[in-house]
Amino acid sequence: MPTSNDLPPQTRGLTAIAGAMSLIVILLIVQIWLLSAALESFLSGKLHTALPAAVFSGVMFLICLGLYAFVDRVDSEVRGSGNGR
Amino acid sequence: MTWLRRGSSEPLWKEEFPVRTADERYVTRRQLTKFLVLTSLGMFVGNIWILIRSIFYKAPIYGHQPVAQLGEIPVGGVKLFSYPSKDDHCILIRTAEDEYVGYSQKCTHLSCAVYYSQAENRLECPCHKGFFSIKDGAVLQGPPSRPLPRIVLEARGEQLVAIEVKG
């Protein structure tokens, strides 16, 4: 049975990039929800939710940034080893 | 005179500026990821903005304003008034012999004016069928996610006075 190590580096790289991009999209959806919930909460006078919402949104942004660095690095490697875009 | 003819059927400007439109419009993975991360930054900035507004939030000070005479409207009747400013339209409803409630008339969904439905005993927004409870202004149905702001009323002699907005 073939394992992931048997695949060419380009294919593995592309799979990793697709996975990272999917994670970024999921985090972005959660961030959009968080922003709308924080806004609703603020407009209804509940001010104590703004701080945790901002903290979690910041954490998710940092994770997205880390995933972008990962995608950037892997994409460079994939381009180096093949001609994929 | 063959030197006057051009070699291909392409317009001259395309030959002189050979920009490949398909390549220009191609979005790479890195570009897409960068766009997604910038959107994520935008969401974070939005949350920070809400946090700053929350920190520097000052509770408004409301004045006292007579809105109606006691017994001026019949049971089940309504009176429209403005509070705290003349642009904040409100609705006063006499729900029982000695019971009055007041709410902002602005629907919390898209700011349409709500009206009192005596048959259903609730406040209704005609725009998107948002219904609010007459007891506390809570959302009963429809797209609004927040209750109607309630006008706190006080009976002073023969007058009904608005003293505060809650919610």
Quote ipTM for the complex: 0.85
- 8 Å CB contact between B114 and B132: yes
Average pLDDT on B79-95 reads 93
- 8 Å CB contact between A12 and B23: no
**Residues of chain A contacting B, Cβ within 8 Å:** 17, 20-21, 24-25, 27-28, 31-32, 34-35, 38-40, 42-45, 47, 50-51, 53-54, 57-58, 60-61, 64-65, 67-68, 71-72, 75, 85
List, as one string, the DSSP characters of B126-146: TTTTEEEETTT--EEESS--S
pLDDT tens for B111-126 read 999 999 999 999 999 9
- 8 Å CB contact between B150 and B166: yes
On the question of pLDDT at B21 being above 80, the answer is: no
CB contact under 8 A, A28 and B47: no
C-alpha to C-alpha distance for B6 and B25, rounded to whole angstroms: 28
Every domain of chain A and the residues it spans: 24-81
CB contact under 8 A, B37 and A65: yes
Among the partner-chain residues A45, A51, A65, the one whose CB lies closest to the CB of B51 is: A51
pLDDT, mean over chain A: 86
Q: Percent of chain A at pLDDT above 70?
A: 87
State residue A85's pLDDT score: 45
Every domain of chain B and the residues it spans: 12-55, 65-166
CATH of domain B65-166: 2.102.10.10
The strands making up B99-104's β-sheet, listed across from edge to edge, are B65-69, B159-166, B150-156, B99-104, B89-96, B78-82
